[in-house]
């Protein structure tokens, strides 16, 4: 963890190219510009991102042109297009001793990109979505970032990566040093086992358990999905201590005695298997091959998820929650009463 507060001094006279203008790309580019740095956004000419960046007051250029003469190139495009972007636009144009920066180490760590040996290769990953990175910067705050140095050809890679982190606001909060391997492997594990894969499968299993037992799908939705945000917010704000402080003793006792029966030693063993597949490259190989084959299996699995009954029930219920989308008129109806009391499971 950094013990001093870095500044943008190492990049004050540098030309920075930000490739990509999605959630993170837009936040990084605007924050760097507002930090007084020279930023050009590299995107396809006259596409929607080109027009959006121009409207935001940023300079734009085709990716290859943005890279030419740049002292630092931030690659903020989706993972699966980065290898081709590096081959076609970056490697032929990036000058020696310049820095190549990523927000996720996937392609470098798993060998999809083999960076030239005469450039710095670094990473800065804000621990929050792009909208939050931008919003907190505008408030005078920042989102904590992790950073890493994979290759230091100029002997100035550390100064550059810390200056970049300062430029996007991360130094206002906290900077933690990591490695490309640690960032990539922990990020993938968190997504697969807990944040996305684990959480959604737990929700779906809970919904199915209740509806298969005869409970109304609307009630099941509220109990296993809608109220999840309340618990996650408590955990996010104050960890386990705050969650226990603000839930009932009945909920606490159920948590402590029944939770370990759902996520048991077997679940942890399967988490370890998932981590092994990430660390030894099996997941990366599978995902790269799936992408190259046209994403047929990926699309089918995603559509299956979107076709789940919880999605239909959720869409109807969320239409009656105007606070979720203030711009959308609220739907106000009363659900019909059940013809007979539900048979409760033992």
Q: How many CA atoms lie within 13 A of 32 on its CB side?
A: 31
316 is in an annotated binding site: no
CA 201/CA 304 separation, integer angstroms = 13
Q: Is 197 annotated as a binding residue?
A: no
Asked if residue 218 belongs to a known ligand binding site, the reply is no
154 in a labelled binding site: no
Do the annotations mark residue 227 as ligand-binding? yes
Three-class DSSP labels, 178-225: CCHHHHHHHHHHHHHHHHCHHHHHHHHHHHHHHHHCCCCHHHHHHHHH
Residue 221 known to bind ligand: no
Ligand-binding annotation for 130, yes or no, is yes
SS3 helix, strand, coil % of the chain, rounded to 5?
55, 10, 35
Report the distance separating Cα 168 and Cα 12, nearest Å: 13
Residue the block writes with tokens 């190549």: 100
Q: Catalytic annotation on 308? A: no
36 is in an annotated binding site: no
How far is the C-alpha of 209 from the C-alpha of 304, rounded, in Å? 18
Residue 44, marked binder = yes
Ordered alpha helix ranges (H), 22-109? 23-34, 48-55, 63-67, 79-85, 106-109
187 is in an annotated binding site: yes
Of 28, 104, 109, 150, the catalytic one is 104
Beta bridge partners of 17: 40, 73
Task: Answer yes or no: are the C-beta atoms of 101 and 170 closer than 8 Å.
Answer: no
Residue 268 — φ and ψ, nearest 5°? -65, -35
Active site residues: 104
**Annotated binding-site positions for Mg(2+):** 187, 191, 223, 227
The annotation places the binding site for NADP(+) at 21-24, 44, 49, 130
Residues annotated in a binding site for substrate: 248
Residues in the annotated binding site: 21-24, 44, 49, 130, 187, 191, 223, 227, 248
């Amino acid at each position: 963890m950094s013990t001093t507060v870095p500044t943008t001094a190492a990049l004050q006279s540098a030309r920075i190219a930000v490739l990509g203008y999605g959630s993170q790309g837009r936040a990084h580019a605007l924050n760097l510009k507002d930090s007084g740095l020279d930023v050009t956004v590299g995107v396809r000419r006259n596409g929607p991102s080109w027009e959006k960046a121009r409207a935001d007051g940023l300079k734009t250029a085709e990716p290859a042109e943005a890279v030419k003469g740049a002292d630092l190139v931030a690659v903020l495009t989706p993972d699966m297009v980065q290898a081709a972007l590096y081959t076609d636009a970056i490697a032929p144009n990036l000058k020696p001793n310049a820095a190549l920066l990523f927000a996720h180490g996937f392609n470098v760590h798993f060998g999809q990109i083999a960076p030239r040996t005469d450039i710095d290769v670094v990473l800065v990953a804000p621990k929050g979505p792009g909208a939050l990175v931008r919003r907190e910067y505008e408030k005078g705050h920042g989102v904590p970032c992790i950073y890493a140095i994979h290759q230091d050809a100029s002997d100035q890679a550390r100064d550059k990566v810390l200056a970049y982190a300062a430029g996007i606001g991360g130094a206002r909060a906290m900077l933690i040093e990591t490695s490309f391997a640690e960032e990539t492997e922990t990020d993938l594990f968190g997504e697969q086992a807990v944040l996305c894969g684990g959480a959604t499968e737990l929700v779906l299993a809970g919904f199915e358990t209740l509806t298969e037992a005869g409970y109304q799908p609307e009630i099941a939705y509220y109990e296993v999905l809608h109220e999840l945000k309340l618990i996650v917010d408590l955990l996010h704000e104050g960890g386990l201590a705050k969650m226990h402080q603000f839930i009932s003793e009945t909920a606490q006792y159920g948590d402590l005695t029944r939770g370990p029966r759902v996520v048991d030693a077997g679940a942890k063993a399967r988490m370890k298997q998932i981590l092994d597949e990430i660390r030894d490259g099996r997941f990366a190989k599978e995902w790269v091959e799936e992408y190259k084959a046209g994403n047929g299996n990926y699309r089918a699995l995603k559509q299956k998820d979107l076709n789940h009954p919880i999605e239909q029930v959720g869409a109807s219920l969320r239409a009656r929650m105007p606070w979720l989308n203030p711009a959308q008129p609220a739907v106000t109806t009363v659900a019909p009463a059940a013809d007979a009391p539900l048979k409760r499971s033992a």
